[in-house]
A and B are shown apart, each in its own frame.
Chain A
Amino acid sequence: MTKTTHTVNFTLNGEKKTFGTRPDEKLLTLLRREGYRGTKYGCGQGTCGACTVLVDGRATYACLLYAMQAEGRTVRTIESVGTFDKPGEFQKELVAAGAVQCGYCIPGMVMSATALMETEEVFEDEIVKEYMDGNLCRCTGYEKIWVALRKTLDRQASAPAKRAGKKSSSKGSKK
């Protein structure tokens, strides 16, 4: 187990936290070590999206970000999205559509979709693809993930606008 030499403070899923870390530790490693294991390791190279978390609302590869870069920021993981009793809207649709095969990519997909839903107001296909392009899946061919996402987005788009100060851009897509 990594011996820690530094501390890092950030808001994790709504709670202010302080963690021991080291300058060379990645955020993904820290999160998993601290029990936030819904965030997955897939490539460690910032290419598959299994480790996607939200940092200040933007979808971010936790395998590339150093833990100490999260200092003072707001981090959200899959654990903040839903529970057995109250799954998130997209999670519900994924289950209903049969879009979860091995499921390894799904938490990352959910986080990218969360960034999309919280950043954009117009969910044109091209914008959706921009957000989701960094999350690879090898099981589903994306068909049912797409169906589930489209359903979730269309419902959200038709709901009365509750969100203020949101603008349409692709700025929330992955760095």
Chain B
Amino acid sequence: MNRHEKAKNFKQVNHSVTKIDALQLALGKDSYVADFVPNDALIIKMLWSPHAHARIKKLDVSKAEKMPGVKAVLWYGNVPRIAHCTAGQGFPEPSPYDTFMFDKKVRFVGDRVAAVAAETEEQALAALEVIKVEYELLKPVFTIDEAFAPGAPVIHDEAEAHVPIPIPYEPKKNLVAHVACEAGSFENGLKEADFKFDQTYETPYAQHCPIEPYTSMARIAPSGRIEITTSTQVPFHCRRIVAKTLDVPVQKIRVIKPRIGGGFGCKQEILLDDVTAMFALRTGRACLWQFNREETFRTGRTRHPFRIRLQAGVKKDGTITAINMEAINNTGAYGGHGLTVVSCAGSKVLPLYHCENIKFDGKSCYTNLPVCGAYRGFGATQAFFAMESLMDQMAEAIGMDPMKFRQMNHIREGEGSPIFAALGEGREGTPMTVGSNALAECIVQGAEAIRWQDRKDWRGKTGRYRRGIGMACLMQGSSIPDIDMGAASIKINDDGSFNLLVGATDLGTGSDTVLAQIAAEELETATDKMIVYSSDTDLTPFDVGAYASSTTYLSGEAVRKAAADAKRQILNTGAEMLGLPVEEVFCENSAVLSKKDEKQKVTYGDIAKYSLYQKNQYQIIGTASHITKKSPPPFAAHYAEIEVDTWTGFIKVLNYVSTIDCGTAVNPQLAEGQTEGGTLNGISYALTEEYLFDKDGKMQNASFADYHIYSMRDRPPLKIILVPSYEETGPFGAKSVSEVSINGAAPVFANALYNATGARVREFPLTPEKVLKAIKAVEKK
């Protein structure tokens, strides 16, 4: 039997179990940070910088401190000055320590100046009005070229700015990171090519737009400890970074993550919690800080805009002889994730196709624009736009069908890539061969669904509306090998139910349900016997958090191991109760049974009561940690059929097909949901989403009225196809599902537009304006 056939025999995994918190959320029960705020909490409001780059000459908060209702004001004059990084990454972070709770310098429109905590929002806002600030305006830097120009204004001229690990960082040159590698010889490879290419692609600023804005509440517990309830993907990193920033011991802080109203990467950031915690310390009161939507856009994290130069050579027979990717991201005013995002542009993209001569050069630069961070896809999204656009161009040059060209060149099961070993996150990568890989099947099934065989070269057509079909192949990873760690514990209760405690962070994905299914499968019980709690730094074991597509693969395996540990104890106690050697019993359907006589059995409830109350008492509790040695890529092939209005440049999506190989889908319904959501987010990003700035670096479209994300009306016909494979290193064959689907739409539409009109766009979003311009340019030729 095929390995993935194994998954058909699972009883809990590979079943669409109902998401365990779905009804609670649909009923509107208290679930999110703001639902737990006492009515007498102080309200925090921030005075934001109106300037992109300025030094604060004078800051006078004395009037504000005396305003009605004001309990405390924070500014650089009364808080610790400790350089840190807001990115919620492992420790020490591969990102610069270039941020202070408050600073004398502001580096983008929306940077912190001073904060007020008052009895009411109105009082806090009124107090902000009377804070006096004198700025010395500095010349701002808005583009990659301006940032790297000789003599450019230095954005981080403070002495403290440094990275905690030995990686290139030159703030005096606005250089946040530089990473380079080469496998084989790009120069030699290019010499073998029949066709050579050199193209440059640009991608826009964009945002995650979770419907729940950033929200954090802190208070002082009766024990005197700081208790932070926050909308975070990284509770443990939050605890560590807040402790550092406030200069208090980690022991003094508890971070609670309730239900989260979406994150997509933006909540992998410690953006509010230092301030809420500091106000709680200063006032002794519960303090709430919730961003409004405008603040979420201006100050919240964003997707890195990239400029990517891609050079390649291809032989007439379809062999790709050389690839060189030069990727530069603009990380905005602070450098968290700058290095790792540019690294992933290479490491999650370049291994997809066979090539013996690959070169990569990635840089990250500071500018005086909004701060970029982690966003679903994490650099791969931007680089796949370049790679998959060029794949179509190469196929055309050699006269090969673009699907066949991809089929010929894509990585297969059992194969490695020199890139896996060369590119890690702040250090060398981990050598790896691909285990599970159903990309070939994804390509075939997707092509059938879009009717690829009917696709023709439609560029010669005339008429207002033109049809086009495009495709792209994609991959991502599952966790960061040798860096990420997840842990879980599981204990039995009187009635045979279990408490599953995980540091893993369900931010709305359904990972609590997925982890419960994994535990139940291992324990031979039902998923609804699991009471899942995630996550709380006082109660749950450590986990790095929800990022890098790691929860199912990494935390899931920790859960499986913890469940196996508990199961071993259950078997021992069950055998003792049955008076049998442990070798002669087995678990099935929440009971321990004799192998010889299945009528001889004790239920988990019996075993729990026996072990807790009756004899040789002890707590049956399993615990385990897990790190990974691999980051198995999920694969995907995306296809779209579009209709271009050549009069207006409007692209209508007629059909979109999104296939995915995520290994075993632990919960097929939730895996589909992840794929649907990621795909539509990608479509929206490719067609409409971008930050627009004025000449002073201020975002002009900071609302959903002006920054359009897709609504139910905009949703095009979308078909999702889960193509099974079995990843031997993952829990019950699973690998990741959450990120890869967002990578497809931009290159798919660019390729479809070319197929329809001959217009090749190398930047998106593909707004009507941009598309029309590209079509006109073709017509002129």
Contact = CB atoms under 8 A, between A and B. Distances in A.
Interface string B669-707: 110110011111100000000000000000000011100
Given A37-B28, A103-B22, A141-B676, A146 B715 contact: yes
B30 A133 contact: no
A45 B122 CA distance: 17
Contacts of B712: 129, 132-133, 135, 137, 142, 145-146
A100 interface: yes
B715 A104 contact: no
A47 B705 contact: yes
Nearest to A112: B712
20 contacts: A37-B28, A78-B27, A79-B28, A87-B23, A91-B27, A95-B19, A96-B18, A98-B19, A102-B25, A102-B508, A104-B261, A106-B26, A132-B712, A136-B211, A138-B208, A138-B264, A139-B262, A139-B508, A139-B509, A140-B677
Closest CB pairs A-B (n = 8)? A38-B28, A102-B508, A103-B25, A104-B261, A141-B680, A78-B28, A47-B704, A141-B676
B676 A143 contact: yes
Contacts of A101: 262, 508-510, 673, 677
A41 B25 CA distance: 15
A147 B482 CA distance: 41
A96 to B, nearest CB: 7
Interface stretch (B32-40, B318-326, B614-622, B637-645): B32-40
A87 B26 contact: yes
Nearest to A33: B39
B409 interface: no
Contacts of A103: 21-22, 24-26, 31, 259, 261, 508
Nearest to B38: A1
Given A129-B712, A141-B680, A37 B208 contact: no
Contact of B711 (A42, A82, A94, A133): A133
Contacts, number: 199
Given A104-B212, A107-B26, 10 more contacts: A3-B120, A44-B292, A48-B293, A82-B27, A96-B18, A99-B673, A102-B262, A143-B672, A143-B715, A146-B715
Contacts of A91: 23, 26-27
Q: Is the interface on chain B under 10, 10 to 19, 20 to 34, or 35 or more residues? A: 35 or more
Contacts of A140: 673, 676-677
B599 interface: no
B703 A137 contact: no
A114 to B, nearest CB: 12
B573 interface: no
Contact of A102 (B34, B119, B122, B259): B259
Contacts of A24: 122
A83 interface: yes
A contact face: mostly helix, strand, loop, or mixed: loop
Contacts of A137: 211, 712
A58 interface: no
B444 to A, nearest CB: 23
A104 B293 contact: no
Contacts of B294: 45
Nearest to B264: A138
